Structure 1
């Protein structure tokens, strides 16, 4: 093969890693926003950022880091963008850490706290979770935990997450923890046996459990440890001794029916529990029954998360009924389960008993129209103060839109609304958009992506948010909006108080796409769009709002 052919082949496999797509940049901003506004050790030490402030910081960080990496890319010798991507990621992480340590700006208004734990004068955190995940052996454990051995230390909060302890290191840690356990109030040992053989991991858990037995904790995080029933029972001495827990995190732990039963049996009291998070387990219907028992014994719950736990209809009904006892609940997250209509109806009967509810996450529950209507009818009367409502991926179509619109009109405190991945089409979209147009001055985010609507629905959603002060993002991606319709949306936003910056990515919009059923004759598109809006305007007058 001659050199010309070889050069040609080399060029054929050249890949450019820079610049990232617009959707990638937006995704990074959303991820940073979530990380900055989610409770962590940093937030408990420096304060929790509100969602709006977190989004502002995330957007600023991304823009600065993109500009810096882009400048680097222009001087990059290899030209494939790899070092620019690394710089982009590194600087983003660095600036996020700076924002977290700076804490929230001082303001006269603050978000409703889920669990308020102000930092006392002698309240100190020992956090060894920084850096890459790594195995820890005895010598390193002794060095890392040496601050806990100093006489008169005032450490009350420890975080050993992201470091994998072997038995030797656990024995070192165990003796140190036993000496300070009476002063500890918060323990994070999530993801602390990664990569260890099962027998060794269980031994490590038993050592930590024995060392911390009898400590009076208000916060315990044992997530990301692939516990299963064996792991839960390995922590039995620690769990049995806890009667004052206010926050318990058991996420991504392989919590099956037997593990859920063990957890329910071992913890003697959950009366003081304010936060209970079970995200990403394999609990199923049978396990949900035991989770429901814990919920019934936790009347002071303020934040409950049981998302992605494989719970179906029967378990969903049991859990929904149990939630009716949690009259102080402020945040409820049940996303990504298989509840179905019956569980949705059961939940609708408990929602009126939750007068303090502020955030409600019910995406991907297979609620369909019947379950959705039951829920929004309950919320209309009981939760006008709701700030976050997520109902994505529930097969909601235009038939449920009038009931949903009435509910949304009552929710004048709404800050974030997610209805993505449903089947609203133009008919349902116009009704819902009209319900958001007046009032809703606090609305910041609206996600109606992938709803099969076209030009008419897009225009109405743009009008609904164009003049709302402080609005941050409109997501209408993944729909069937014509090029002319996109231009109209942009004109509407330009003419309003908000700029085009609020319009999210449109990389998955299909300008030539059409809804997949034949409910309406496909006539001239412009005439059809106008007719839809005019016809639905008249229908709206029959909607009781």
Structure 2
């Protein structure tokens, strides 16, 4: 199924991930040298012989690549920089672990594990390509070996036609009782709809009855037809812990199909719906899935065209997800009502901490009317490291309320993004004075607002000791208008009065 017709691709930019095959081979060679050559580490722990070093180097690179690739898949709108950093970090960590074990321990482990099979089978590396029956036979041959121990398979980045699917079918049938994780993301790219749906039916029937913990069907432009083509597989899943349906053209009807076909989400911990066409009605269906997922820890429903009604439904559903640690609802159109509902719901989630210490509510048309409830929510999240409320309409009033919520505690706060919020001089100054006090604070972004030149100078004065912490003002419009008919024209004459009124504002947590 041609993904260009129903899904939104990443904007064109330089991508740092994935690395080329030649780059990966160079890294393996470098790791081999580090394990076998003279260095302070090999002097301390002992060097491996060339053969053992090369074998370990390949394993290290492969594990690090897969860890970084998963990171990249879960952040499809990034440039790959985070994946590259994780790739290097994992390689260094694993290299040191091998060296610390020493050559004698490596020989012992090699003899113990020589006959053991790998557990992860991945054909996603290299160039995106169509595969024919003969190539599928060659690629999938390891899966046919008797006694193999594969529990996780990834067929992403290769487009299966009917002939290749029929080669894969009996192999998947033979494996389905041992599989725990299946990644079929981007595996029908460029195929005509009729063929793509038949391929999905084949894979679905072959895997029906498997007991999966993780299923990734992202980047397949599924729509309702595609979701239903996977119906037999979805209906048979009662133990899913992770489900990824990103960039799949999930419309209202498709969302309803997902809700209908998945029998149980009681064990679900990760649910990702990024970059779909869900809308308000679709969000109602997704909210039903969320309600039935009490263990949910990571929920992503960003760029899904959800408005106020759908946002309210999702917010209410999230109230029951008391284990929530990461929430991403960026780039929707929640507005005031949904913003208030979401803030009330999040105030109850004290486990919204990190690894996932990020509260993202950017681009949701949130106005100052929702600020008190958002402030109460923020006040309860003492472990926040990043707060993103960019591209809303909080203005000075809302900004000062948010600032006051950050005054007490929040010692782990590293970044605040309140760009493009119609903020003037008073709000900018108040926010700057609060965040500059946080130890380890790294970035304040208040670009794209309507701060006067004097206001910009005042903010820069606050950060005079830490100029690198303050973001750019290149898109600030000192003569801008917030388009508020009632207050337009009052300008900065009333800023001091507004700030005076806000000084005694109390931020309390709603019961």
Tell me the TM-score normalised to structure 2 length: 0.73
Q: Does 1:264 align with 2:259?
A: yes
CA–CA separation in structure 2 for the residues paired with 1:335 and 1:344:
12
CA–CA separation in structure 2 for the residues paired with 1:307 and 1:395:
19
CA–CA separation in structure 2 for the residues paired with 1:105 and 1:403:
49
Tell whether the 8 Å contact from 2:396 to 2:424 is kept in structure 1 after alignment: yes
Would the alpha carbon gap of residues 331 and 365 (structure 1) be closer, same or farther in structure 2, given more than 3 Å must change? same
CA–CA separation in structure 1 for the residues paired with 2:258 and 2:352:
26
CA–CA separation in structure 1 for the residues paired with 2:85 and 2:274:
28
Would the alpha carbon gap of residues 521 and 219 (structure 1) be closer, same or farther in structure 2, given more than 3 Å must change? closer
Aligned residue runs from structure 1 range 292-441, under 5 A: 292-358=287-353, 359-380=358-379, 382-410=380-408, 411-438=410-437, 440-441=438-439
Q: Deviation string for 1:94-132 (max 9, x for gaps)?
A: 8885556446999xxxxxxxxxxxxx9976322211222
Q: Deviation string for 1:448-493 (max 9, x for gaps)?
A: 221122444444554666667xx9754224344xxxxxxxxxxxxx
- SS of corresponding position for 1:446: strand
- State how many pairs are aligned: 420
Would the alpha carbon gap of residues 253 and 425 (structure 1) be closer, same or farther in structure 2, given more than 3 Å must change? same
Q: Deviation string for 1:119-168 (max 9, x for gaps)?
A: x9976322211222111111111111122122232222221111111011
Tell whether the 8 Å contact from 1:164 to 1:191 is kept in structure 2 after alignment: yes
CA–CA separation in structure 1 for the residues paired with 2:95 and 2:457:
36
Paired position in structure 2 for 1:518: 489
Would the alpha carbon gap of residues 151 and 361 (structure 1) be closer, same or farther in structure 2, given more than 3 Å must change? same
Specify which of 475, 492, 496 is matched with residue 471 of structure 2.
475
Paired position in structure 2 for 1:84: none
CA–CA separation in structure 2 for the residues paired with 1:206 and 1:424:
53
Paired position in structure 2 for 1:239: 234
Tell whether the 8 Å contact from 1:46 to 1:101 is kept in structure 2 after alignment: no
Tell whether the 8 Å contact from 2:346 to 2:377 is kept in structure 1 after alignment: yes
Tell me the TM-score normalised to structure 1 length: 0.69
- SS of corresponding position for 2:274: coil
Q: Deviation string for 1:488-507 (max 9, x for gaps)?
A: xxxxxxxxxxxxxxxxxxxx
Q: Does 1:188 align with 2:183?
A: yes
Tell whether the 8 Å contact from 1:313 to 1:340 is kept in structure 2 after alignment: yes
Tell whether the 8 Å contact from 1:50 to 1:104 is kept in structure 2 after alignment: no
Aligned residue runs from structure 1 range 148-167, under 5 A: 148-167=143-162
CA–CA separation in structure 2 for the residues paired with 1:446 and 1:141:
51
Q: Deviation string for 1:188-213 (max 9, x for gaps)?
A: 11111111010100011111111111
Aligned residue runs from structure 1 range 452-531, under 5 A: 452-459=450-457, 461-462=459-460, 474-480=470-476, 514-516=479-481, 518-520=489-491
- Higher relative contact order structure (alpha carbons within 8 Å, sequence separation ≥ 6): 2
Paired position in structure 1 for 2:43: none
Tell whether the 8 Å contact from 2:117 to 2:148 is kept in structure 1 after alignment: no
Tell whether the 8 Å contact from 2:463 to 2:469 is kept in structure 1 after alignment: no
CA–CA separation in structure 1 for the residues paired with 2:314 and 2:444:
29
- Give how far 1:365 is off: 0.7
- SS of corresponding position for 2:347: helix
Q: Which runs of 5+ in 2 are unaligned?
A: 1-10, 19-61, 97-112, 482-487
Tell whether the 8 Å contact from 2:426 to 2:499 is kept in structure 1 after alignment: no
Tell whether the 8 Å contact from 2:291 to 2:321 is kept in structure 1 after alignment: yes
Tell whether the 8 Å contact from 1:454 to 1:479 is kept in structure 2 after alignment: no
- Give how far 1:171 is off: 1.0
Aligned residue runs from structure 1 range 137-148, under 5 A: 137-148=132-143
CA–CA separation in structure 2 for the residues paired with 1:363 and 1:477:
19
Tell whether the 8 Å contact from 1:257 to 1:283 is kept in structure 2 after alignment: yes
